[in-house]
């Protein structure tokens, strides 16, 4: 067999011995494995397999292949987690299908229950999915008041170009864990928060309160005892976890009324 020079990513089209040697390839000898492997094919039919100790010369993930121009790609795709070739984002499909000059140079591994129609359905399914951050970014744009004017509306009298749409960031669109949700800054919450806590001891008891700082108040509910001046959630139901909060009140009176 012939060993490629360091840095080689693609084998030359002409694999003639003289051509390979002229390109820096070296002829080497590789012995077979010393021990053959016995395989049970089916119904107690056995076969002996003798292998050369070789592995793929060039193999890469989709992300590793970004920016590479390849003459040929052999790949496997699946939309089932933990399967070989699992892909979940349309960007991965775009990168995969744009690595070669021609689509005909991309080969998809099939076999078993996977055929070419199943591969095509997988690619179309991934391409039809919204990107991971699409819904979240859309809600952020809506909350900041950015509005895109269509060509039909542009210049039309009576169209409010400064119209904004108030939106709530829903956890279904939030791309991270709910516990990682960033608290609003003080400029939005000048008049404090109204919050609801859940007892992790019983998972049945809740506590509703108001405060100016959720971080400080959570520390008090879980580590400080109640006093005549400061009331806290029952200590025997600790620890308490934050379930949700409401903010952006117009005044302290509005906050206490809501509470």
pLDDT in tens, 118-142: 888 889 988 888 877 777 777 777 7
Which whole-number Å values give the CA distances from 231 to 87, 135, 194, 220, in the listed order? 52, 40, 15, 9
Domain spans of the chain? 73-128, 131-176, 183-258
Interior angle at CA 114, CA 110 and CA 120, nearest 5: 85
| Share of residues in the chain with pLDDT > 70 (%) | 80
Query: Is 71 within 8 Å of 99 (Cβ atoms)?
Result: no
Q: Is 219 helix (H, G, I), strand (E, B) or coil?
A: helix
How distant, in Å, are the alpha carbons of 25, 29, 165, 213, 246 from that of 2? 6, 8, 65, 69, 68
Best mean pLDDT range from 143-152, 158-167, 180-189, 202-211: 202-211
Is the omega angle on the peptide bond into residue 239 within 30 degrees of 0, that is, cis?
yes
Q: Which helix (H) or strand (E) holds 43?
A: none
pLDDT in tens, 110-120: 766 778 888 88
């Amino acid at each position: 067999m012939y060993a490629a020079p360091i840095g080689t990513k693609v084998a030359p089209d002409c694999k003639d011995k003289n051509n390979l040697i002229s390109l820096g390839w070296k002829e080497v000898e590789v012995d077979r494995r010393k021990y053959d492997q016995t395989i049970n094919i089916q119904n107690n039919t056995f076969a002996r397999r003798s292998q050369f100790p070789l592995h793929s010369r060039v193999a890469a993930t989709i992300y590793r292949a970004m920016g590479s121009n390849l003459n040929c790609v052999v790949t496997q795709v699946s939309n089932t987690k933990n399967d070989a070739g699992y892909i979940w984002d349309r960007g991965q499909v775009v990168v995969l299908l744009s690595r070669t000059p021609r689509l005909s140079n991309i080969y998809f591994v099939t076999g078993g229950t996977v055929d070419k129609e199943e591969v095509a359905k997988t690619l179309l399914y991934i391409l039809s999915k919204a990107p991971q951050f699409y819904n979240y970014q859309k809600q952020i744009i809506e909350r900041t008041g950015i509005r895109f004017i269509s060509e039909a509306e542009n210049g039309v009298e009576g169209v409010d170009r400064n119209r904004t749409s108030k939106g709530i960031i829903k956890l279904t669109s939030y791309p991270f864990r709910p516990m990682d949700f960033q608290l609003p800054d003080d400029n939005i919450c000048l008049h404090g928060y109204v919050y609801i806590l859940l007892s992790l001891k019983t998972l049945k008891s809740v506590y509703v309160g108001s405060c100016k700082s959720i971080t400080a108040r959570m520390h008090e509910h879980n580590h400080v005892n109640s006093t005549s001046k400061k009331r806290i959630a029952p200590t025997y139901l600790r620890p308490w976890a934050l379930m949700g909060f409401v903010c952006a009140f117009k005044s302290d009176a509005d906050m206490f009324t809501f509470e």
